[in-house]
Each structure stands twice: as structure tokens, then as C-alpha cells.
């Protein structure tokens, strides 16, 4: 049985190891370095806790004790193939086509992937310098366009997980007004870009949008920055209540701690303000005229729960971006029909990711032999590998 696994994250590599141990001929297509989101999160939240094999582990422990050995094993066995998978379809079988007296499993799956010929050529040139003389520098430099290739498989497991397309910031997971028009030129950052391409340096006013775990991780990324200077402010726009519980308990705890710290600081600022107000009111009128009235404090973390971003705009004569947020009349935890405009130097969008519907559009819904491995947590994902095994074994006998 020849099995393709698409993805580079923890579930993809654990899936590859699992089916390799069962005797399948496994090919793991990796677009990025093995480790995926675990490698990515490790850089920012090494103390983040996850459940693995019924035990609570820090992300650092998971990486060192569980994932590194699997990655080494997979690479030593040459189970990986570098390249971005572009689409998956049957070799010839159309979605509504039927093969007489046979199932659709008769026709193999074709995995189309992109390879960079220049990288392959340069690697060969390092091993064989004489080849460079034969090809010439001009020929090598011309190999800059990716080339599509393919390989056929009995079974395909899509384990790309959280590496799919970011969800837009507007209501119903749709784009807010003008979002698509300005997102290339405006300081809008989505999902992983928040951690890889966005810098807090020089920023004083930010907006975070979303209620997914990535939005909470974004808040945690900004936590130290938020409380480091008096003029730093952050607005969090979420359609749900801040009481929402997430699958990851560490994230729940960290969010509660952040909200408590923010609230405690705001209460302290209000006490100081009230004291200054009493002192200012007791001053003689001629002294009041010389001393400004104390400014009422605002929370550094402003939370707009029950709101959606309905529009986003830029002004020609001002930097940054402006988010228009609105609340409906049916969310009990939000003001009724409220509308506000929030200025920001950047908007950080953590609304989650969505399936790439074009990836396997040539297949039937629930196509036999094509499985998606995705879960909100590692434990459920590992259980999903077992489910896929059971489905596969209904077609194929276990290798001896």
C-alpha cells in the first residue's frame, strides 16, 4: 500500500511514523521544515502546555522527548519529499464517473506538487562541480520557475492542519468592507504572519481581532509590550464573550491571568485618579486655573466583546488603519447596536484558518481513500490517526 501524507506538523510526522510501522510505503510531502506549528510555537511559547499520551507536557518537552526522535527516524528512512502539494485528484476518474463492477479505489490518487529545479540543480552542482561547466551559469540562473511534478498513491492523508488559509476579520468569517482591497498595502497581519512578519517595535496602538486560540496567543505576544509603557494601548475585538473556554487549558489560564493583570492595573489607576481629583477640587480657583484637571484613566487593554469588524479603512493623510466595529441586538453580553471606530498602527487578525476547498475539488465528498487529519488538539489528532487506520484496513489487509 502506497500512502501519501501531506503536511509537516506534529500530526503529519506522527501519522507517517504510525503507517510506516504498519508496513505501508509512506511518502511525507513537506513544504516546510518538519515540526510545523510545534516548531513555530516553540520559538514564542516554550512553556505552553499540551496533552500527549494522557500526560501534560510543556511544548519544549514535547519537542525534545517526542517529536525530535520521530523526525530523526523519518529523515533517516528517507520518507520525506520536499515540495508544496498543489492539488490532489484521481488519475483519470471524474467526480461523477463510475467504473463498471469496480469501486473508485481502482483508480489511484495523483498528488501534484511543486519543485524548485534550481535548488535541485545547485545541490547536484555541489556534489559534481564539473556539471556546472557543462550547463553554464546562464542556464542555471534561468531555472527560477517552479516545475509541477506528480506521484500516484493508493491512499492520501491531508494533514496540513492549521497551515491553511486565514479567515477574514469580518462577520460570518467573510471579509470586512474594504479588507480585500487594502490588505496587501495596509498593516494587516493574519495568523502566523503576526509572529513572523510583524514587529512591536515603535508601535503604541494596536487592534487584535478574533476569538480563536491564535488571537489569544497574539494577546500573549503583546502582553509585555502593552504594560511596558504608559502610552501603549491594545483593543481586542471578539464576537464572543471573553468567558469562552478553549481546548488548551494553558491558554485559558494565561488569558485569565492577562485579564486580571489588566483589570488590577486599571483599578489602581482609577484609585490614583480619584485621589488626584479630590486634591484638585480642594484647590483654590486661581490655582485650578494654572493646574490642569487630572485626566481620567483608560484601560490599557480595551475589550470589545460581542463586536464584529464591519469595515476597515486607510486615510491618505494619516498612517495606520481604522477599524469600524459594530455590535448587533442579539448578543446579551454586548451593547445593543453600538458602533465605534478604532484607530491603530496595525490590526492583528486571529480568526482562525479555513479549508482550502480548491485543493481536492476533483474528488467526491467523502472520497474513499482520501482522509483529512485535523483536530483542535494533539490528543484528538492522534485519535484521528487510529480512525484513519480503521478505515484503511477495511480496504487493505495489514502488512506482515
Structural domains for the chain: 2-163+355-393 (3.50.50.60), 166-353 (3.50.50.60)
Summarize the confidence of residues 288-304 as an average pLDDT: 92
Tell me how many degrees the CA angle 152-154-158 measures, rounded to the nearest 5: 85
Set of cell numbers at residue 93: 476518474
Residue 397 pLDDT > 60, yes or no? Answer: no
Who has greater pLDDT, 53 or 205?
205
What average pLDDT does the structure give for the chain?
90
Rounded-to-integer distance, Cα 327 and Cα 338, Å = 5
Q: Of all residues in the chain, what percent carry a pLDDT higher than 90?
A: 75
Residue 376 pLDDT > 70, yes or no? Answer: yes
Residue 296 pLDDT > 70, yes or no? Answer: yes
pLDDT at residue number 399: 46
Which pLDDT tens digit goes with each residue over 8-38?
999 999 999 999 999 999 999 999 899 988 8
Rounded-to-integer distance, Cα 101 and Cα 80, Å = 36
Residue 314 pLDDT > 60, yes or no? Answer: yes
Residue 138 pLDDT > 70, yes or no? Answer: no
Who has greater pLDDT, 65 or 133?
65
> Across-strand partners of 88?
111
Rounded-to-integer distance, Cα 145 and Cα 48, Å = 40
pLDDT at residue number 139: 58
Residue found by looking up cell 504498519 in the block: 22
Summarize the confidence of residues 327-355 as an average pLDDT: 94
Residue 58 pLDDT > 80, yes or no? Answer: yes
Residue found by looking up cell 486615510 in the block: 315
pLDDT at residue number 155: 96
Set of cell numbers at residue 26: 509512506
**DSSP line for 72-128:** HHHHHTT-EEESEEEEEEESS--TT---TTS-GGGSPEEEEEEE-HHHHHHHHHHH-
Who has greater pLDDT, 127 or 391?
391
Rounded-to-integer distance, Cα 382 and Cα 159, Å = 11
pLDDT at residue number 136: 60
Residue 47 pLDDT > 50, yes or no? Answer: yes
pLDDT bin (cut points 50, 70, 90) of residue 61 is very high
> Across-strand partners of 115?
147
User: Is residue 7 left, alpha or beta, with left meaning phi > 0 and alpha meaning psi from -120 to 50?
Assistant: left
Residue found by looking up cell 488571537 in the block: 215
| Residue 270 CA, distance from chain mean position | 37
Burial of 333 (0-12, 13-18, 19+ CB in 10 A): exposed
pLDDT at residue number 329: 94
pLDDT bin (cut points 50, 70, 90) of residue 254 is very high
Q: Check if the beta carbon of residue 160 is closer than 8 Å to that of residue 371.
A: no
Which pLDDT tens digit goes with each residue over 67-109?
999 999 999 999 999 989 999 999 999 999 999 999 999 999 9
Residue 283 pLDDT > 80, yes or no? Answer: yes
Residue found by looking up cell 451593547 in the block: 335
pLDDT at residue number 163: 62
pLDDT at residue number 142: 57
pLDDT at residue number 116: 73
Q: Check if the beta carbon of residue 69 is closer than 8 Å to that of residue 43.
A: no
Summarize the confidence of residues 351-356 as an average pLDDT: 86
The pTM of this model reads: 0.85
Q: Is the dihedral of CA 221, 223, 228, 234 positive or negative?
A: positive
Rounded-to-integer distance, Cα 137 and Cα 387, Å = 51
Who has greater pLDDT, 374 or 200?
200
Q: Check if the beta carbon of residue 312 is closer than 8 Å to that of residue 323.
A: yes
Residue 114 pLDDT > 80, yes or no? Answer: yes
Q: Which parts of the chain fold into alpha helices (H)?
A: 10-21, 36-44, 59-61, 68-76, 117-127, 129-135, 137-141, 179-182, 193-196, 213-226, 249-281, 285-288, 378-393
Amino acid at each position: 500500500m502506497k500512502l501519501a501524507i501531506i503536511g509537516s506538523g506534529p500530526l503529519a510526522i506522527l501519522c507517517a511514523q504510525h503507517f510506516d510501522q504498519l508496513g505501508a510505503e509512506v511518502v511525507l510531502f513537506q513544504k516546510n521544515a518538519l515540526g510545523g506549528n510545534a516548531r513555530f510555537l516553540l520559538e514564542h511559547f516554550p512553556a505552553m502546555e499540551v496533552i500527549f499520551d494522557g500526560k501534560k507536557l510543556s511544548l519544549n518537552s514535547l519537542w525534545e522527548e517526542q517529536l525530535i526522535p520521530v523526525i530523526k527516524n523519518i529523515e533517516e528512512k528517507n520518507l520525506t519529499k520536499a515540495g508544496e502539494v498543489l492539488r490532489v485528484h484521481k488519475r483519470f476518474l471524474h467526480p461523477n464517473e463510475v467504473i463498471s463492477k469496480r469501486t473508485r479505489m481502482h483508480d489511484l490518487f495523483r498528488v501534484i506538487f511543486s519543485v524548485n529545479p534550481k535548488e535541485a540543480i545547485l545541490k547536484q552542482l555541489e556534489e559534481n562541480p564539473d556539471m556546472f561547466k557543462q550547463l553554464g551559469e546562464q542556464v542555471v540562473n534561468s531555472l527560477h520557475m517552479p516545475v509541477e511534478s506528480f506521484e500516484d498513491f493508493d491512499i492520501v492523508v491531508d494533514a496540513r492542519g492549521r497551515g491553511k488559509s486565514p479567515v477574514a476579520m469580518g462577520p460570518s468569517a467573510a471579509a470586512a468592507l474594504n479588507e480585500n482591497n487594502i490588505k496587501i498595502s495596509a498593516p494587516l497581519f493574519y495568523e502566523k504572519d503576526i509572529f513572523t512578519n510583524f514587529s512591536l517595535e515603535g508601535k503604541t496602538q494596536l487592534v487584535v481581532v478574533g476569538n480563536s486560540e491564535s488571537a489569544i496567543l497574539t494577546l500573549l505576544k503583546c502582553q509585555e509590550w502593552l504594560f511596558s509603557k504608559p502610552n501603549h494601548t491594545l483593543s481586542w475585538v471578539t464576537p464572543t464573550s471573553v468567558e469562552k473556554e478553549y481546548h488548551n487549558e494553558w491558554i485559558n489560564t494565561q488569558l485569565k491571568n492577562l485579564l486580571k493583570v489588566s483589570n488590577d492595573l486599571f483599578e489602581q489607576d482609577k484609585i490614583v485618579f480619584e485621589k488626584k481629583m479630590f486634591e484638585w477640587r480642594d484647590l483654590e480657583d486661581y490655582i485650578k486655573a494654572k493646574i490642569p484637571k487630572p485626566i481620567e484613566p483608560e484601560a490599557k487593554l480595551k475589550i470589545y466583546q460581542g463586536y464584529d469588524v464591519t469595515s476597515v479603512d486607510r486615510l491618505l493623510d494619516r498612517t495606520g488603519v481604522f477599524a469600524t466595529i459594530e455590535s448587533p441586538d442579539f448578543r446579551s453580553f454586548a451593547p445593543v447596536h453600538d458602533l465605534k471606530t478604532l484607530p491603530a498602527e496595525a490590526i492583528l487578525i486571529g480568526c482562525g484558518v479555513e479549508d482550502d476547498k480548491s485543493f481536492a475539488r476533483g474528488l467526491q465528498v467523502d472520497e474513499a481513500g482520501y482522509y483529512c487529519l485535523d483536530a483542535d488538539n494533539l490528543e484528538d489528532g492522534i485519535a484521528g490517526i487510529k480512525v484513519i487506520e480503521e478505515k484503511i484496513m477495511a480496504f487493505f489487509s495489514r502488512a506482515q
